């Protein structure tokens, strides 16, 4: 496994609105609407953890990305 370190940050937000937020809205749109529109938003949780190569590879796959994004194999090894 690679000896490089990776970091995973999780940010939790709370959004209040008078109507349901459309399911197609992405985070950038929600933040924009909170800053200049109809939503109220606050960040109330943040956590950062260090992960190894194998954990980073699994997290990338879970996000729908690919371990090669960080030049890793699916097992967390450095790509050659």
The residues, any chain, with a CB within 8 Å of residue 56's CB and separated by 6 or more, are: 6, 8, 67, 70, 72, 76
**Residue 34: enclosing H or E segment and its boundaries?**
helix 27-36
Whether pTM exceeds 0.85: no
Nearest CA-CA partner of 3 in 50, 52, 48, 49: 52
pLDDT surpassing 90 at residue 1: no
Chain centre to alpha carbon of residue 76: 19
Retrieve residue 37's tokens. Answer: 């529109």
Model pLDDT for residues 6-61, shown as the tens digit of each residue: 999 999 999 999 999 999 999 999 999 999 999 999 999 999 999 999 999 999 99
């Amino acid at each position: 496994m690679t000896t490089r370190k990776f970091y995973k940050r999780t940010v939790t937000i709370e959004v209040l609105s008078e109507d349901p937020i459309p399911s197609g809205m992405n985070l950038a749109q929600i933040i924009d609407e909170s800053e200049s529109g109809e939503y109220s938003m606050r960040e109330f949780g943040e956590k950062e953890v260090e992960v190894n190569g194998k954990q980073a590879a699994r997290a990338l796959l879970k996000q729908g990305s690919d371990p090669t994004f960080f030049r890793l194999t699916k097992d967390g090894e450095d790509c050659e």
